[in-house]
Structure 1
Amino acid sequence: MAMFDARSGLPTALRRRPRHRQSAARWPWMLLPALLFFAAFWLLPFARLVQTGMTLDRSTQHSGYWTVISQPQYLQSLVNTVLLSLAVTLMTLAIAAIVGCFLARQHFVGRGTLLALLTFPLAFPGVVVGFLVVMLAGRQGVLAQLSLGLFHERWTLAYSLSGLFMGYLYFSLPRAIVTLVAASEKLDRSLEEAARSLGASQWRIVWDVIVPGLKPALLSSGALCFATSMGAFGTAFTLGTDLNVLPLTIYGEFTNYANFATAAALSVVMGGVAWLGLMLTRMLTHTKEENS
């Protein structure tokens, strides 16, 4: 039997419809400030960046995108940046996963202090990280002084891709450690005990139980690490402007040669590669959720 409202005499379901319609009509207006902010500070500038990349380059008289794909130095810069970012990502995840599992499972005096020290570099900008790499592996750094005393020659790594790898790794590790410590604390230890009771070795437990349990955290940390390494500028600029990586290449084209078209095209390409990495991570994460 239908319920009627005492005041209006209308069925209760009909009386409530206008409220739902008002709520449905109200939520787009609530999103308007966020949409305006998104359009003003990202969509419009990025559209302008894409348009600038289509203009003619001053040196080649071709569009910026054609210059990027036709000139080997720009392609080499892109390859160097992608490979360096992948290497940093893989090394960061390997170290952070081991450290995260250890700190999540071991409780000892000074554990909180150790975790605080490991995450302290989060407060450092890229320029400071580059300066620390110079102090460690620069011409007057610790490594150079030790090699000079032992082998009578200075070993320097700071001003090469090896030094940049060290800087990016130092910059990325604290963020990954924070994420993986929290993820390791949520692992179901009973699954490991069950696998161990069935005779599984420690390596089988790691690959079949721990790694799948940490997979969402590993994917998210890896995506952020890769995207950050692709566009990191402060560390690379501190270690030397001759390094052939995309952030410094974009900086040189923009400031030294005023090739705005090439700089814009390189920026779009770099952003596109980082975006593809993030989208691939989301696809892998959604695939895991659907399979589970």
Structure 2
Amino acid sequence: MNSRRFDFFLILPLAIFTLAFLILPVARLIAEAGSGPQGLAGFLVILTEARFRNSLIVTLLLAIVTTVATLAVATIAAQTLANRRFTGRGLLLSMLTFPLAFPGVVVGFMIILFGGRLGLVGSVTKSLVGTNVVFAYSLFGLFLGYLYFSVPRVLLTILAAAEKLDPSLVEAARSLGASPFAIQRDVVLPALFPAMYTGGALCFATAMGAFGTAFTLATNIDVVPLLIYTEFTLATNASMAAAISIALGLITWAALAIARNRAMRDVKGG
């Protein structure tokens, strides 16, 4: 088999995947979005109509807060696990990554068991102060659900980078009198930034498009994935659902592209 034919067989699966799962679905979405009464101008409705605009803002803010909190927790945990060897480390890492096995609906149900009307927190607060504290169906409950399944994904990404960090760099900075804060700022975090950008972008994209957890918890919250669902199923407005889907895809694609470019610049020392 000559080189050209071999290259063809290598590229063929990628071409089929790109056509079947990327180009054709996106083209169908664009065509559906333009088939509404307003045509492609329906995209402007996402920004001009209060319901759609507010849903987009809430989803963006929730995804940003989730990303920041996830990066903070995952970075601390990754450094702790990378720099220390202790009995039970493997078990602890397995427990921290265990949420990867749960679909979004299960995560939402766990948050209900924790902070729902009959949840653990409500039972404890009712017995202590006589008030049943319920937060599972609020933005805070949704935030906890997103945080729960986001930390393991980002942790594994940052942990891989933390384990590759040369300990001699930290020791050299410490021997020169650098404080722990200065070591973090000037040595450790710059080395972890590419992994943090990548993990943060994936966390942001996941939080923007998470449906299972939102469907379980967001009974009074109109986040974008639920908005797409209600527009398509309840309002039978397929064109608007397609327009919102494209807008959501563009936002998450932009976040991933920015993170990838920034990570590449940091890796190259730019």
Is 1:276 aligned with 2:254? yes
Aligned to 2:7: 27
TM-score (norm 1): 0.88
- Aligned counterparts, 1:1-292, within 5 A: 23-24=3-4, 27-28=7-8, 30-57=10-37, 63-291=41-269
1:142-170: CA deviation from partner (whole Å, max 9, x where unpaired): 11111111221111111011100000000
Aligned to 1:13: none
Query: Which residue identity is paired with 1:40?
Result: A
Q: 1:24 offset after TM fit, Å?
A: 4.4
Query: Which residue identity is paired with 1:222?
Result: G
**For residues 66 and 30 of structure 1, what CA distance do their matches in structure 2 show?**
41
Query: Which residue identity is paired with 1:227?
Result: A
Q: 1:184 offset after TM fit, Å?
A: 1.2
Q: Which runs of 5+ in 2 are unaligned?
A: none
Could you say what secondary structure the match of 1:215 adopts?
helix
Q: 1:36 offset after TM fit, Å?
A: 2.0
1:165-185: CA deviation from partner (whole Å, max 9, x where unpaired): 000000101111222222211
1:172-229: CA deviation from partner (whole Å, max 9, x where unpaired): 0111122222221111111111111111100000111110111111111111111111
Q: 1:109 offset after TM fit, Å?
A: 1.3
**For residues 82 and 287 of structure 1, what CA distance do their matches in structure 2 show?**
26
Q: Is the 8 A contact 1:118 1:174 kept in 2?
A: yes
Q: Is the 8 A contact 1:64 1:264 kept in 2?
A: no
Aligned CA distance change for structure 1 residues 26 and 105 (closer, same or farther; 3 Å) = closer
Q: Is the 8 A contact 1:56 1:63 kept in 2?
A: no
Q: 1:128 offset after TM fit, Å?
A: 0.3
Q: Is the 8 A contact 2:142 2:218 kept in 1?
A: no
Q: Is the 8 A contact 2:33 2:40 kept in 1?
A: no
Q: 1:29 offset after TM fit, Å?
A: 5.1
Could you say what secondary structure the match of 1:291 adopts?
coil
**For residues 64 and 256 of structure 1, what CA distance do their matches in structure 2 show?**
19
Moved more, 42-51 or 173-182: 173-182
RMSD between superposed Cα atoms in Å = 1.8
**For residues 288 and 184 of structure 1, what CA distance do their matches in structure 2 show?**
15
**For residues 159 and 5 of structure 2, what CA distance do their matches in structure 1 show?**
43
Equivalenced residues, count? 270
Q: 1:43 offset after TM fit, Å?
A: 0.7
Aligned CA distance change for structure 1 residues 141 and 205 (closer, same or farther; 3 Å) = same
**For residues 271 and 264 of structure 1, what CA distance do their matches in structure 2 show?**
10
Question: Which structure has the bigger radius of gyration?
Answer: 1
1:26-52: CA deviation from partner (whole Å, max 9, x where unpaired): 524531232122102221111110111
**For residues 16 and 112 of structure 2, what CA distance do their matches in structure 1 show?**
43
Could you say what secondary structure the match of 2:85 adopts?
coil
